[in-house]
Amino acid sequence: MAVSVDVKRIKAALRHDYGLWVLVSASTSGALVDALASWVAEAEPRLGQRPDLQGVQLLGPLLLPDGTSLLRLVNYGNSTHLVAVVTDLSATLEAAGLDARIGVPRDIWNPLALAAPRYPDDVAGLTALTAVSVTLPWRADAVGRRQRRRAFGAPNGLRGWVRSDVQDEAWTAVVDTALAWCQELRSGATGARYVAHGVSSLQPDPAQWEATARLALGSEHLPVQASVVDWPGEARDVSFGYQPGRVLFNLQEETFGSPESTVSWARELIERLLPHITSAFVVQAVTRGPALVTEHLLRRSEKTTAPSSQPQERAPASQLHELAPMDDRRIIDAFGVMYLGPGFRGLADDPQLYRVEQLGPGRLLTANNLDAWFRSDPWLWVDKRLPKPLILEAARADLAGTIATYDEYRRAKRSNGQDVPQVLG
């Protein structure tokens, strides 16, 4: 028996990614699945003892309809070292007496997912994106876990926040809701389905889409985007970025719905996620694609600097990693619709721009003038963004102490996330 390995394509796939999708086939698929499952269970801790393979993570196997098996190999140190992992896999399959082939699937990207938000003069091709950004609760020992990883010399990819720093129950519930929501196209269509992990993307069989997304989400750090597209018409995407405590629900349409309908579906989604989130807000953008990372949506037209004379200036939204420990008590800015969990204090006693109501364990804030924050026509967004500066400043005043300040951000950054504001009395 022999095992053939597509070395050329494997090395090419590793040039630009921290991970590798691997397809393994054999004449006897049942025996192959058993051999792969045993190898994954045994190989990860063994290979992790090697200095060049610290931080290796093996995900799968996932049996596909054609009898092949899908694996995801990740190394948070140097991805090119995964060639050694493939070599170990090949030796294991050969020792098991299997006639097998190891290769890589072809990258297939969601065709709508390649554009970042743009505000061009030419309106041709513009589409409407509404996103609900939610934050998840961290484990009580999350900061200590990160510090221990750094002290023990973890690979660069594991020195920041990782998915196991998030509370298990909340993570499971939000992932379940996200994957279900993605599949709830209003047309009832199955849609084309994609899973992007790192800088690789697959178009799984619809029956295997959810399992493929869950396999990718088993990684500790690499971003994952799961998409369902029925275009023209509608596309839904959930983005799990480098900051694991924040998840973005993207709804892409040919045009915006009314502000009232936007608030209605966003509220319904927030209610489904309770009590497993600490905050949420709704934003809109005009773009040429639905799958956007959180940072793109959070950038206002102006950029916040670091004025030492104004330590209470709001913190820069682009620095989400440093603000992460404050997610259960600070929001990054004012938005037209927001959910603030029970840890938030400092809301103005008599908000001028918001209607405040109890929702689950927290409060839902909805702007009194929805037209000031949301538009029903994407072409109206070409020349300007909402809200107007005066409205945005008034909204920030209503939120008062709930918005993270630059002083708090600076303290958190200098202390590696240990000096963060506590829940106020």
Looking at the fold, whether 36 and 68 belong to one and the same domain comes out as yes
**Three-state DSSP string of the chain:** CCEEECHHHHHHHCCCCCEEEEEEEECCHHHHHHHHHHHHHHHHHHHCCCHHHCCEEEEEEEECCCCCEEEEEEECCCHHHHHHHHHHHHHHHHHCCCCEEEECCCCCCCCCCCCCCCCCCCCCCCEEEEEEEEECCECCCHHHHHHHHHHCCCCHHHCCCCHHHECHHHHHHHHHHHHHHHCCCCCCCCCEEEEEECCEEECCCHHHHHHHHHHHHCCCCCCEEEEEEECCCEEEEEEECCCCCEEEEEEEECCCCCHHHHHHHHHHHHHHHCCCCCEEEEEEEEECCCCCCHHHHHCCCCCCCCCCCCCCCECCCCCHHHHHHHCCCCECCCCCEEEECCCCCCCCCCCCCEEEEEECCEEEEEECCHHHCCCCCHHHHCCCCCCCHHHHHHHHHHHHHHECEHHHHHHHHHCCCCCCCCCCC
Residue 112 lies in a domain: no
Is residue 422 one of the residues assigned to a domain?
Answer: no
The 10s digit of each residue's pLDDT in 244-291 is 899 999 998 888 889 999 999 999 999 999 999 999 999 887 765 443
- Whether 262 is covered by a domain: the verdict is yes
pLDDT exceeds cutoff 70 at 111:
yes
What is the average per-residue pLDDT within 402-411? Answer: 73
Answer whether residue 383 is part of any domain. Answer: yes
Q: Is the pLDDT of residue 324 over 80?
A: no
Domain assignment of residue 288, yes or no: yes
Does residue 227 register a pLDDT over 70?
yes
- pTM of the predicted model as reported, rounded to 2 decimal places: 0.89
Q: Answer yes or no: do 185 and 48 share one domain.
A: no
In a domain, 121, yes or no: no
Same domain, 134 and 97: no
Q: Which of 156-165, 170-179, 197-206 is the most confident on average? A: 170-179
More confident residue, 213 or 305: 213
Quick one: pLDDT at residue 320?
62
* 75/141 same-domain check: no
pLDDT in tens, 135-156: 999 998 988 898 899 898 888 8
Q: Are residues 26 and 146 in the same domain?
A: no
Kindly report, residue by residue over 121-131, the tens digit of the pLDDT. 444 456 788 89
The pLDDT score that the predictor gives to residue 213 is: 98
Total structural domains in the chain?
2
Mean pLDDT of 71-75: 93
For residues 286-312, average pLDDT: 46
Which of the residue ranges 30-34, 144-148, 176-180, 369-373 has the most confident prediction, judged by mean pLDDT?
Answer: 176-180
Per the domain annotation, does 153 fall within a domain? yes
Is residue 181 one of the residues assigned to a domain? yes
Same domain as 20, residue 147: no
> Which residues constitute the domain of residue 322?
127-414
Are 157 and 27 in a shared domain? no
Mean pLDDT of the chain: 83
